[in-house]
Chain A
Amino acid sequence: MFPSQFVYALAGGVLIGSAAVLLLWLNGRIAGVSSMVINVMFSRERLWPALFLAGIVDGAALYYLVGGSAPVARDNFPVWLLAFAGVLVGVGTGMARGCTSGHGVCGLGQLSPRSLVATLTFLSVAIVTTYVVRHVFGVQG
């Protein structure tokens, strides 16, 4: 168990990074998922981000199809809490103009100071939040 999940994580990370490089090299675009969602919702330039998002769904489906384990719903997770988290992810990545992919993968790859600050902020706040939710309030899926 120990080595394989690290290998999957590293291999998956390399694929994600490679996809980000290919998108910039071939099409000149940044692989930032939150920006793509925003552009599909509000901009006139909807086609390419919609295609990329559809690709994400297809790629994940392909992995589950070839035998990769698909996520299972957490039936004991409070619905209102999940909805609250969803709103925060939308408002937050909209304000910060980037998420784990845009700031984390692409921004750090460009040594962007904005992205470094964003990544350190959301990662550290997420660690504290998970601690509070799991160990102070005792919410587990």
Chain B
Amino acid sequence: MKNVVTLLVGILFGFGLALSGMTHPEKVLGFLDIAGTWDASLLFVLGGAVGVTLCAFRLVRRLPKPVFGSQFFVTQAKQLDASLIVGSALFGVGWGISGYCPGPAIALFAAPNWELWVFVPAMLTGYAVQRIVKNKLRPNDTEADDSSVCG
């Protein structure tokens, strides 16, 4: 049941992503390009999504456990560390160049073109490099191994 739910909810997420316009990198860049002919519509994507999560997460977290699981896998991390800020900044550069954040990059498989075969392998390489460097610098930090990593 849990797996069926995951797939169906993923479909809902992907449909919403495509409907919102976020899977069009040029539209995303048109939103980020406030000095050009600014396309403000994507502000409503984040607004709509956060509006829903802000209201509903609060209700969900009052429950003792999820419907099909034993516990909520939500990180308790509070620390504003350098890796959060530097990482977000590097992500911002990549997003601002390409118009792709990870969700729309994955969604490229639904309408593949050459950008998929360049961007996605590069992104996966980035994850691998980050992982290797982190394990070299902090071999005992297993925090990022848990699946609750979110923010």
Contacts and interface: CB of A to CB of B under 8 A. Distances in A.
Interface of A: 5-6, 8-35, 37-39, 41-43, 45, 47-49, 51-64, 68-74, 77, 79, 81-115, 117-119, 121-131, 133-135, 141
B34 A90 contact: no
What's the interface size class on B, roughly?
A: 35 or more
A84 B115 CA distance: 12
Given A86-B118, A94-B130, 7 more contacts: A12-B19, A18-B52, A33-B101, A64-B110, A88-B93, A101-B101, A127-B33
Nearest to A34: B102
Contacts of A87: 94, 122-123, 125-126, 129
Nearest to B88: A121
11 contacts: A5-B41, A8-B41, A21-B57, A26-B66, A26-B69, A27-B68, A35-B147, A84-B97, A86-B119, A92-B91, A97-B151
A97 B85 CA distance: 10
Contacts of B94: 84-90, 92
A85 B97 contact: yes
B128 A59 contact: no
Contacts of B26: 71, 74, 141
Interface string B7-33: 111111111111111111110010011
Contacts of A17: 48-53, 56
A125 to B, nearest CB: 3
What are the 6 closest A-B residue pairs judged by CB atoms, nearest first? A55-B10, A90-B126, A12-B20, A59-B14, A109-B53, A13-B48
Given A28-B65, A85-B119, A71 B111 contact: yes
Contact of A90 (B7, B39, B84, B130): B130
B13 A52 contact: yes
B97 A81 contact: yes
Nearest to A15: B16
